[in-house]
């Protein structure tokens, strides 16, 4: 496992929290380039084992953008509320710089970096207040992250990473009035949340409540509020 990629990701999140979008973008771009290099030069990857991974994923709030007028007016799209939190890596045990990653763990790292890059472009698009190339780029990164999720579904099935990607992907689909895409994301988010409980160690109670509200409360409210045919 490359410790530098984990460090780059967390440094980029620090930049995002300070409102330095361009700096975060540059750092994440370097992390993605290193990931690409490792994929091309890595020896036969190790298969996932049953041993617990020391790599944990946590979310951190990006409160610095909440007071921006344009940002506030674009936070909600359909039933989706923008998940304004970035993902960082934490280690539950010391990790040697020379330690190898399983296919599952490598995909998990790439998923988080892809999500944070998508989040960066997503924020840019919300600050601009309209559909833009930034929004389209965010959509591409979120889609790539969702594709990576299929490679590490076992370890991420109860993780905030899957739901963060799914939620913000749905938010963009809803903003683009793509009902098929937003409905698919809502269905996936619904399934993810159903597997969770507040005691799940891979997600905080605050994050769980956020996704439960999106998956269950908002759709039910809109259904009740809809005019009768």
Contact 136, 122 (CB under 8 A): no
Angle at the Cα of 35 (from 33 to 38), degrees rounded to 5?
110
Is the CB of residue 109 less than 8 Å from the CB of residue 1? yes
What is the model's pTM?
0.85
194 strand-pairing partners = none
The whole-number pLDDT of residue 44 equals: 46
Q: How far apart are CA 219 and CA 228, in angstroms?
A: 16
Which single residue is written with the structure tokens 């030069």? 41
The helix (run of H) or strand (run of E) holding residue 148 is: helix 133-149
pLDDT per residue, tens digit, the chain (229 aa), is 567 899 999 999 999 999 999 999 999 999 999 988 776 666 444 444 445 566 889 999 998 776 667 676 778 888 899 999 999 998 765 555 545 556 677 888 999 999 999 999 999 999 887 667 999 999 999 999 998 887 666 566 558 999 999 999 999 999 999 999 999 999 999 988 887 755 556 788 899 899 999 998 766 545 444 444 4
Residue where the block lists tokens 């891979």 = 202
- 3-41+54-225 CATH: 1.25.40
Cα-Cα-Cα-Cα dihedral of 106, 109, 110, 114, to 10°? 170
User: Residue ranges of the domains in the chain?
Assistant: 3-41+54-225
Q: How many CB atoms lie within 10 A of CB 95?
A: 14
List the beta bridge partners of residue 55. Answer: 91
The CB-based long-range contact list for 92-100 (8 Å cut-off, 24+ gap) reads 92/52, 92/54, 92/55, 92/56, 93/54, 94/54, 95/1, 95/3, 95/54, 95/55, 97/3, 99/1, 100/1, 100/46
d(CA 20, CA 153): 32
């Amino acid at each position: 496992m490359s410790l530098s990629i984990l460090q780059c990701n967390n440094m980029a999140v620090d930049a995002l929290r300070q409102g330095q979008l361009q700096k975060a973008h540059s750092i994440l771009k370097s992390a993605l380039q290193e990931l690409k290099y490792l994929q091309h030069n890595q020896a036969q990857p190790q298969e996932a084992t049953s041993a617990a991974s020391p790599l944990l994923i946590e979310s951190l709030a990006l409160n610095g953008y909440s007071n921006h007028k344009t940002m506030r007016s674009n936070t909600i799209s359909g039933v989706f509320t923008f998940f304004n939190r970035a993902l960082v890596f934490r280690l539950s045990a010391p990790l040697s710089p020379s330690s190898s990653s399983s296919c599952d763990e490598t995909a998990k790292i790439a998923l988080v970096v892809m999500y944070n890059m998508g989040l960066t472009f997503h924020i840019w698009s919300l600050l601009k207040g309209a559909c833009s190339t930034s929004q389209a780029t965010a959509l591409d990164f979120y889609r790539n992250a969702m594709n990576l999720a299929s490679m590490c579904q076992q370890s991420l099935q109860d993780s905030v990473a899957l739901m963060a990607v799914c939620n913000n992907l749905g938010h963009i689909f809803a903003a683009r009035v793509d009902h098929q895409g937003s409905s698919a994301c809502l269905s996936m988010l619904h399934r993810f949340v159903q597997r969770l409980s507040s005691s799940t160690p891979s997600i905080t109670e605050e994050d769980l409540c956020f996704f439960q509200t999106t998956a269950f409360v908002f759709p039910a409210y809109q259904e009740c509020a809809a005019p009768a045919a």
